[in-house]
Amino acid sequence: MNYEDFYNQSIQNPEAFWAAQANEIDWFTKPQDILSTDETGYPLWYKDGSLNACYLALDKHINDGFGDQIAIIYDSPVTQTVKKYTYNEVKSEVARLAGGLLSLGLKKGHTAIIYMPMIPQAAFAMLACARIGVTHSVVFGGFAPHELAIRIDDCKPRLILTASSGIEIDRLIAYKPLVDEAIELAEHKPKKVVVLNRKLGARIPFKKYDVDYDALVYGSEEADCVPVETTHPLYVLYTSGTTGKPKGIVRDTGGYAVALKFSMQKIYGVQPGEVFWAASDVGWVVGHSFIVYGPLINRNTTIVFEGKPIKTPDASTFWRVIAEHKVSVMFTAPTAIRAIKKEDPNGEFIKQYDLSCLRTQFLAGERCDVATLEWYREHIPIPAIDHWWQTESGWPMIANMMGVEYLPIKPGSSGKAVSGYNIMILGENGQELGPNEEGYVVIKLPLPPGTLLDIWNDNQRFQAGYLQKFPGYYFSGDGGFKDENDYIFITGRVDDVINVAGHRLSTAEMEEIVASHHSVAECAVIGINDELKGQIPLALVVTKLGEAIEHFQLQHEIVKLVREQIGAVASLRDVVIVNRLPKTRSGKILRKLMRSIADGDNFQIPSTIDDEAIIDEIKEVLELAKIGSFK
């Protein structure tokens, strides 16, 4: 079937379409009620079904006779390790870890936080939770204790699973002291902390709540899969929003399993048995959907990669992994390709590897600039597919559906709407815009299965953030336009969320931290263009009257504060002092205007500005500091 017909079916008769897709996975109780609504009127898929995500990811394949197939390849250039685990081996460890968690008092309905680096035990921990109906919340290892504490207080885990350390390019990061500090900071106190000792020399301060991971696994009996209802939260994944408090995106179990199986086959075009590699981190949605659950549910071999595209040890790493493990389809963020391109502009490393196994390269997580796409295509002549999605959706919303029909690529566009997503471009008043008119990217309800169910503990924020701006539509937070052939071009966020090296961060959260510095009277943090990371944050600060702090001292203190509170991953390095911030007459800070000035974009001076002279003042400061387009 061609894309057009397949897509139209999903929009014209979503119930029939998704009823058919539900047959692609095994259920303990097959759903009869395909599409209904909850008490607020929000669509629910497969409400009366029951299943288990860990069963689908592991046990099913063993029952089908594929227990000896490799499920996970752990490739870690930073520890110079390659280790392969069969489906039998993964199941055995996961089932015993699940047994261990039960022995520690965890049961269906509880939550657990996982704070681990990119090691297979992170995936084992997720699957062990899923096996017994415990809702997991994975926190990215690059987040500081303060961020971890916010998540502990919000999702109230009974237990945290962690490892002794992670490894960044040039340093060992001891995780256990960070977990202890987060528990001290949090009001909610988890009962146990399960610690995997990686024996890499990191400090592991002992606390009464500690449990040794290895001892727990080896001392426990295998636990069976617990059937859960379709809408049982498989996980809560926190993502940045427009306030200082991250949002806990709630993912269901049944709709998600169907959507992932569908994605692997129809979007990524991967058949069971093939090797699929998403070079991301389990702390992000890509890791949940396409390192752990998607490839395993589709019986692929997935790669857990502990390293970076460059410097571990060099820009050849990606090509070595693809050639060595015979990767068929790969996924990474454009920033990773930009980093490689910078180190190896002529693709010399690429020539040293046999990449004939690689069929398709997918790119997402941030806007894919045309130069990066073209560099890739020049050096590796396979389809390089930009595709668009979010933590909230859990799986791609705009893509080239490689398992359905490969459509011509239009550089700059992420492709056409994926089946199930009725994507529209609306104007400020909710009117649908015509071809090439830029507006808000929204999706007409119902969203397809597997997309967000709620915000953990905060349905009001869920309604206000996503559903109330345009009633009847999901508001994505992104701007964009469709051309006359229905290709969609995403132009960027319309809110305070920025994307730094494929990591989603909130400038509002950074602003709160910058504002807490004792010398700061007022500030604004904006995302400006960056050649490598896509975007980086810039803080513009007005100091308190009479404050005699040197610029470099203030910059140093603010950068340190943000690293301590959010983590190094925030990448805030540029702080400038200004006499005042541009505002409207009613006092609203004109962040977009500052962004345009820094990026060197054309802009119109808003008629509501209170004083135009400030534009030149800001330009001067940025010019002096050589920031953004003034570099």
285 forms part of the interface with ligand AMP (CB under 6 A) = yes
Site string for ligand COA, 460-499 (x = CB under 6 A): ----------------------------------------
Number of residues counted as binding ligand COA (CB under 6 A):
25
Angle at 267 between CA 329 and CA 66, to 5 degrees: 60
Residue from 366, 454, 496, 509 binding ligand AMP (CB under 6 A): 366
**Sole window of 222-230, 305-313, 349-357, 396-404 interacting with ligand COA (rule: CB under 6 A):** 305-313
Span near ligand COA by CB under 6 A; candidates 1-9, 40-48, 302-310, 417-425? 302-310
Q: How far is the CB of 60 from ligand COA (least distance, A)?
A: 27
- Please tell me whether residue 164 adopts helix, strand or coil conformation: coil
The answer to whether 365 contacts ligand AMP (rule: CB under 6 A) is yes
Binding test (CB under 6 A) with ligand COA, winner from 74, 277, 284, 440? 284
Q: Which is nearer to ligand COA, 320 or 461 (CB)?
A: 320
CA–CA distances in Å: residue 528 to residues 338, 499, 593: 17, 10, 11
Closest CA to 162 of 93, 113, 126: 113
CB of 53 to ligand COA, least distance (A): 21
Do 383 and 406 form a contact (C-beta atoms < 8 A)?
Answer: yes
Nearer to ligand AMP, 266 or 387 (CB): 387
Q: Rounded CA gap, 70 and 89, in Å?
A: 9
Contact letters (x/-) for ligand AMP, 375-414, by CB under 6 A?
A: -----------xxx-xx----------------------x
Q: Which tokens in the block code for residue 287?
A: 């890791």
Closest to 391 in 3D by CA, of 295, 570, 251: 251
Beta-carbon count within 10 A of 5 CB: 10
The correct pick among 493, 583, 591, 595 for binding ligand AMP (CB under 6 A) is 493
Phi, psi of 308 (to 5 degrees): -125, 165
Could you tell me which of 323, 336, 281 has the C-alpha nearest to residue 305?
A: 281
- Nearest residue to 237 (alpha-carbon basis) of 186, 289, 169, 187: 289
Residue from 490, 536, 576, 615 touching ligand AMP (CB under 6 A): that is: 490
The Cα 580–Cα 543 span in angstroms is 9
Helix 613-625 to helix 591-599 angle, to the nearest 10 degrees? 50
Among 231, 312, 413, 499, which residue interacts with ligand AMP (rule: CB under 6 A)?
499
Residue type, 202: A
Q: Is 280 in the site for ligand COA (CB under 6 A)?
A: yes
Binding status of residue 465 toward ligand AMP by CB under 6 A = no
How many residues sit close enough to ligand AMP to count as binding (CB under 6 A)? Answer: 20
- What is the dihedral angle through the alpha carbons of 169, 173, 179, 180, rounded to the nearest 10 degrees? -170
Closest contact distance (angstroms) between CB of 572 and ligand AMP is: 18
Structure tokens at 134: 């415990």
Q: Which is nearer to ligand AMP, 62 or 234 (CB)?
A: 234
Which positions ≥6 away from 472 have C-beta within 8 Å?
A: 444, 445
Rounded to an integer, what distance in angstroms lies between the CA atom of residue 230 and that of residue 237? 18
Query: Quick one: which segment of 23-31, 316-324, 482-490, 500-508 binds ligand COA (CB under 6 A)?
Result: 500-508
Distance CA 3, CA 128 (A): 37
- The answer to whether the CB of 93 falls within 8 A of the CB of 58 is no
Query: Given candidates 67, 99, 141, 449, which one binds ligand COA under the rule CB under 6 A?
Result: 141
Asked if 498 and 461 count as a contact pair (C-beta separation under 8 A), the reply is no
The token pair that represents 337 in the structure block: 């390709």
339 binds ligand COA (CB under 6 A): yes
Contact 239, 440 (CB under 8 A): no
Ranges within 217-276 binding ligand AMP (CB under 6 A): 239
Selected from 160, 250, 327, 336, the binder of ligand COA by CB under 6 A is 336
- Contact positions with ligand COA (CB under 6 A) in 563-582: 568-569, 571
Q: Return the residue matching tokens 């492709």.
A: 415
> What x-and-dash track marks residues 142-181 binding ligand COA by CB under 6 A?
x-----------------------x-x----x--------
Quick count: other Cβ atoms within 10 Å of Cβ 272? 16
Cβ closest to ligand AMP, residue 127 vs residue 285: 285
Alpha helices per DSSP H over 546-612: 551-565, 591-599
Which of ligand COA, ligand AMP, none does residue 309 bind to, with CB < 5 to 8 Å depending on kind? ligand COA
CA 70 to chain CA centroid, nearest Å: 25
Helix axes 3-12, 14-22, angle to 10 degrees: 110
Least Å distance between CB 214 and ligand COA? 23
Binding mask 363-392 for ligand COA (x = CB under 6 A): -xx---------------------------
Least Å from the CB of residue 623 to ligand AMP: 29
Residue among 90 and 490 whose Cβ is closer to ligand AMP: 490
Residues linked to residue 85 through DSSP beta bridges, in sequence order: 72
> Among residues 241 and 269, whose Cβ is nearest to ligand AMP?
241
**314 near ligand COA, rule: CB under 6 A:** no
Instruction: Give me the residue label for tokens 């459509």.
Output: 407
The residue from 232, 247, 504, 583 that contacts ligand AMP (CB under 6 A) is 504
Burial 448-462 (b: 16+ CB within 10 A, else e): bbbbbbbbbebeebb
With CB cut-offs between 5 and 8 Å by kind, which of ligand AMP, ligand COA, none does residue 152 bind?
none
Q: How would you write 205-241 as a 3-class SS string?
A: CCCCCEEEHHHHHHCCCCCCCCCEECCCCCEEEEECC
Cα 7 versus chain centre, distance: 25
Cβ distance to ligand COA smaller for residue 186 or 505: 505
Partner from ligand AMP, ligand COA, none contacting 385, C-beta within 5 to 8 A by type: none
Among 138, 291, 304, 368, interactor with ligand AMP by CB under 6 A: 368
Residues that bind ligand COA (CB under 6 A): 141-142, 166, 168, 173, 279-280, 284, 286, 308-310, 332-333, 335-336, 339, 364-365, 501-503, 568-569, 571
Q: Which residues bind ligand AMP (CB under 6 A)?
A: 239, 284-285, 364-368, 386-388, 390-391, 414, 477-478, 490, 493, 499, 504
